[in-house]
Chains A and B, each alone.
Chain A
Amino acid sequence: MANIGGFSKEEEEWIKQQREREAQRQKRSAGRGEDEDNSVNINSLMDIMVIILVFLLDSYGEDPLRVQDDDLKVPSSASELEPADTLTIAIHRSSILVNDSTVIELQEGEVDPSHFSGDGEMLIDPLLDSVSDAVSDEREQAELTGDDFEPEATVIADQSTRHRLILEVLYTATEAELSQFRFAVIMGTRETFGGFEPAGVES
Chain B
Amino acid sequence: MARKEMDNDIDHPEEPDLAPFMNLVIILIPMLLLSVVFIEIAVINVTMPLGGEATEDEETEEELDLSIALSTEGFIVTAVGSQIEPIEGCPTQGPTICLKDQDVDVDQKFSDAREQLLTGSSSEGEDLLEQGLQAYDFRELYNMLVGFKEDFPEETTFRLLADPDMPFALSVRTMDVARHRLEEDSFDEDEAFWRASYAEDTDDEGEQIYENLFPDPAFAVGQ
Contact = CB atoms under 8 A, between A and B. Distances in A.
Given A49-B29, A52-B29, A191 B195 contact: yes
A182 interface: yes
A97 interface: no
A163 B163 contact: yes
A184 interface: yes
B190 A163 contact: no
B46 interface: yes
A186 to B, nearest CB: 5
Interface in B11-58: 18, 22, 25-26, 28-29, 32-33, 35-37, 39-48, 50
Interface in B150-177: 162-169, 171-173, 175-176
Given A42-B18, A163-B70, A170-B48, A79 B43 contact: yes
A77 B70 CA distance: 17
Nearest to B168: A161
B37 A84 contact: no
A5 interface: no
Bin chain B's interface residue count: 35 or more
B124 interface: no
Interface string B183-223: 00000001101111000000000000000000000010100
B117 interface: yes
Contacts of A186: 39-42
B219 A80 contact: no
A170 B172 CA distance: 15
A174 B43 CA distance: 19
B164 A83 contact: no
B169 A163 contact: no
Contact of B29 (A56, A79, A162, A184): A56
Contacts of A9: none
Nearest to B193: A194
A16 interface: no
A122 interface: yes
Given A79-B179, A193-B176, A166 B43 contact: no
Contacts of B165: 162-164
Contacts of A193: 133, 138, 173, 176, 194
Contact of A171 (B47, B113, B221): B221
B126 interface: yes
Contacts of A109: 114, 118
Interface string A165-180: 0110011011000011
Contacts of B25: 46, 49-50, 53
B43 A163 contact: no
Contacts of A122: 221
B28 A166 contact: no
Contact of B126 (A73, A171, A184, A199): A73
Given A56-B33, A190-B194, A185 B41 contact: yes
Most chain A beta-carbon contacts within 10 A, residue among B47, B193, B221: B221
A181 B39 contact: no
Most chain B beta-carbon contacts within 10 A, residue among A81, A84, A199: A81
Most chain B beta-carbon contacts within 10 A, residue among A46, A77, A199: A77
Nearest to B36: A59
Contacts of B168: 75, 157-163, 166
7 contacts: A75-B173, A159-B126, A164-B165, A170-B219, A182-B45, A195-B194, A196-B194
The 6 closest A-B pairs by CB, nearest first: A194-B194, A164-B164, A182-B43, A56-B32, A159-B169, A75-B169
